[in-house]
Amino acid sequence: MKQHPLIQTLLNLRGNSKACVLTEPLWGIPYNLLGPYISVYMLALGVKDSQIGLIATIGMISQIIFSLLGGAVTDKLGRRYTTFIFDFICWTVPALIWAFSKNFYYFAAAAILNGTMRITMNSWNCLLVEDCDKKQIVNIYTWIYIAGLGAAFFSPLSSIFVKNYGMVPTVRVLYLIFSGVMAVKIYLTFRYTTETGPGRIRMDETKHLSLGEVLGGYGGVVRKLLKTPETLLTLGLMIVMSIINMVNSNFWSIAITERIHLPENYLGLFPFLKSIVMLILFFTVIPRINALRFKRPLVLGFMTFGISQLIVIFAPDKGLIFIIGSIILEACGISIISPLLDSLQVVLVDVRERARVMAVLYVIVLAVTSPFGALAGELSEIDRRLPFVLNIALLICGVILTYFSAAASRYKQSIKQ
């Protein structure tokens, strides 16, 4: 029997790719144990809905700043050392702050430090794929994606702990565990990787340049971006999903516990269900979708996601079955939208300038997304259904942008032919 290509890739991993893939669950497992409780943990410590939104905005602003610095820092320090230093700053230290947090100011400080993740996202991705067999890149990223989903299978454990020991004590201990496990991950990644070939070249090229000089040259990229309609449409879709993900990550758990009044220990079970649905679709339906014919699947994904948000808005008190249905529909929508949006970034972005264009795109996405954290917080204080009304409006924008993107893609393909 022929082995599945993903299994073949995993067995044949070597060097930096192997170290990065095999250590990824050390981030994913403890983070998924915590994820569903982060917002309600803040709420329990006296942080208001509007302050939770403000913290999200502060974190976004921090990410914008460090996104701008990420490429330059990575080139000057090298992929390996940058990952080692900033993984510690963005995860190990903030996790300790979160564990001992008492009020808004603790969470705000941790959000600022956590924003340095944008530097290590750059360096870690380079470390992951720069020296690997280029034919394996898609499957390598697939395993990173699967590692993130698979880690959610451990999330029911947090439900057991919350039920037996209470939410706040459990989350504090989980943050301490997260900090320690991340320190182990950082050490193992550094121990079993080497600087990449392109990394050594860029370190040599930039060793006599200041950080400001390395950052130069992006003005031309921005001007070109503004003159490329298909890339601007892709940017619009990225912004839509970025805002929606930010709203859901901060206010979904609050709506479930505070408005629908489901027990807090249920929150650890929902990512488990979501991951099962996404993994099934990931291995069955999604590979059949053609990235060049994305309009109908993407519209379907936005519509399915939109229905899931409507259910959250209209779910009755203690309506567990409604929330389960919402989670299943949301998982279906995300499973379709995420890979297609990644594909659009390949299909519609100029291949000659992809690296620099993507860096600029992410900065713009973060800049536009950041005010919506505070806005969603204010909406949640008025009515905990309103953030999801905002999501539905954004999903409608996503459908409209998809139609324009499809037209731009057809035009681009006709030019190539």
pLDDT of residue 227: 73
300 pLDDT above the threshold of 50: yes
Centroid of chain to Cα 338: 10
Q: What is the pLDDT confidence band of residue 151, given thresholds at 50, 70 and 90?
A: low
Q: What is the pLDDT confidence band of residue 417, given thresholds at 50, 70 and 90?
A: very low
Q: Phi and psi dihedrals of 31, rounded to 5?
A: -70, -40
* Mean pLDDT within 6-26: 84
Mean per-residue pLDDT over the chain, rounded: 84
pLDDT of residue 357: 67
409 pLDDT above the threshold of 60: no
Q: What is the pLDDT confidence band of residue 212, given thresholds at 50, 70 and 90?
A: confident
User: pLDDT higher for 152 or 123?
Assistant: 123
CATH architecture of 14-216: Up-down Bundle (1.20)
Structure tokens at 250: 């901060």
282: closest CA among 335, 334, 327, 328? 335
What are 350-394's pLDDT values in tens digits?
544 555 566 678 788 888 998 898 899 999 999 999 999 999 999
238 pLDDT above the threshold of 70: yes
In angstroms, how far apart are the furthest CA atoms of the chain?
Answer: 64
> CA geometry: angle at 15 spanning 12 and 18, to 5°?
55
User: pLDDT higher for 143 or 412?
Assistant: 143
Are 34 and 178 spatial neighbours (Cβ–Cβ below 8 Å)?
A: yes
pLDDT of residue 392: 96
d(CA 384, CA 392): 14
Helix, strand, or coil (residue 178): helix
Q: The domain 217-417: what is its CATH number?
A: 1.20.1250.20
d(CA 210, CA 216): 10
Q: What is the pLDDT confidence band of residue 255, given thresholds at 50, 70 and 90?
A: very high
Q: Give the torsion through C-alpha atoms of 417, 287, 25, 345, to 10 deg.
A: 20
pTM attached to this predicted model = 0.77
188 pLDDT above the threshold of 90: yes
Q: Which amino acid is at 52?
A: I
Residues of the chain with CATH 1.20.1250.20: 14-216, 217-417
Per the listing, tokens 């990931």 go with 282
What are 70-100's pLDDT values in tens digits?
778 888 888 899 999 999 999 999 999 999 9
d(CA 384, CA 402): 29
DSSP H helices, 78-226, are 79-87, 93-99, 104-114, 117-129, 137-151, 156-165, 167-191, 197-206, 211-215, 218-226
Structure tokens at 89: 């700053």
- Determine the number of helices (DSSP H) and then strands (DSSP E) in the chain: 22, 0
Indicate the helix (H) or strand (E) that contains 363: helix 354-369
What are 124-136's pLDDT values in tens digits?
888 887 877 766 7
pLDDT of residue 331: 92
What are 28-52's pLDDT values in tens digits?
888 878 888 899 999 999 999 899 9
